[in-house]
Amino acid sequence: MFDSSNYFALFQLPVILPVDTVKLSAHYQQLQRQFHPDNYATASDSEKAAIMQKSATINTGYRTLKDPVKAAEYRVSMQGIDIDTEHDTIRDLEFLSEQFELRERLDDIESTQDWALLDVFYAEVIARKKAIYDNLLHAITQTDWQNAKTLVYKLRYFARLIEHIELLQEKQFDL
């Protein structure tokens, strides 16, 4: 059975975060083998197109559920909550101030090229992201979807900050 309307069902997973990535990978590999386009070389053009669509859905679903932030976004969106609305912003001034401070600290670390401090900062940011994620899991458990939506937005901030830090960590080896 191929259920493309729900990634959790597609990979035969319970609708629970965090996603069991071992089971996700196992089901992904099984689906990839079953619906790989090379297996349908002699099929009609319409059948090939359908298989290509299924393969694309499998890949998108896998990438979504494998990434904790994307999986959280998807889980909240399953409740009919639009999390991609650009006009929705975080109104938590304390959080925004914290983000501004974290960005300033990262800029200072980058300008001084203090790589040891970057590693300490990275660990701190990872811990803060984990705290937000844990709060998100609690909000989902409590079916507090509006709070979950806000926490997804906050996770995005931390994910972008972490990406920037990781780029700097790679950059230190290029010097």
Q: Could you tell me how far CA 75 lies from the centroid of its own chain?
A: 11
DSSP string over 88-104? -----HHHHHHHHHHHH
Best CA proximity match to 70, nearest among 79, 60, 80: 60
Q: 55-64, 75-84, 109-118 — which is least confidently predicted?
A: 75-84
Mean pLDDT across 66-87 = 87
What local confidence, expressed as pLDDT, does residue 171 receive?
Answer: 83
CA distance 83 to 170: 31
- What residue ranges of the chain are covered by domains with CATH 1.10.287.110? 7-66
Q: How confident is the model at residue 92 (pLDDT cuts 50, 70, 90)?
A: confident
Secondary structure (3-state) at 174: coil
Closest C-alpha to 6, from 74, 69, 68 = 74
- 30-45 per-position pLDDT tens digit: 999 999 888 888 889 8
**pLDDT tens-digit readout, 118-167:** 999 999 999 999 999 999 999 999 999 999 999 999 999 999 999 999 99
Q: Is the pLDDT of residue 1 over 70?
A: no
CATH superfamily of 93-171: HscB, C-terminal domain (1.20.1280.20)
- Joined tokens for residue 79: 């409740």
Please list, residue by residue across 51-64, b when 16 or more beta carbons sit within 10 angstroms of its beta carbon and e when fewer do.
beebbebbeebbeb
At 74, is the pLDDT very low, low, confident or very high (cuts 50, 70, 90)? very high
* Neighbouring residues of 40: CB distance < 8 A, sequence distance ≥ 6: 47, 48, 51
Confidence band (pLDDT; 50, 70, 90) for 87?
low
Q: Which CATH superfamily is domain 7-66 in?
A: DnaJ domain (1.10.287.110)
With 70 as the cut, is the pLDDT of residue 65 above it?
yes
Confidence of residue 86 (pLDDT cuts 50, 70, 90): low
How many Å separate Cα 2 from the centre of its chain? 23
In the chain, CATH 1.20.1280.20 sits at 93-171
- pLDDT of the residue at 175: 60
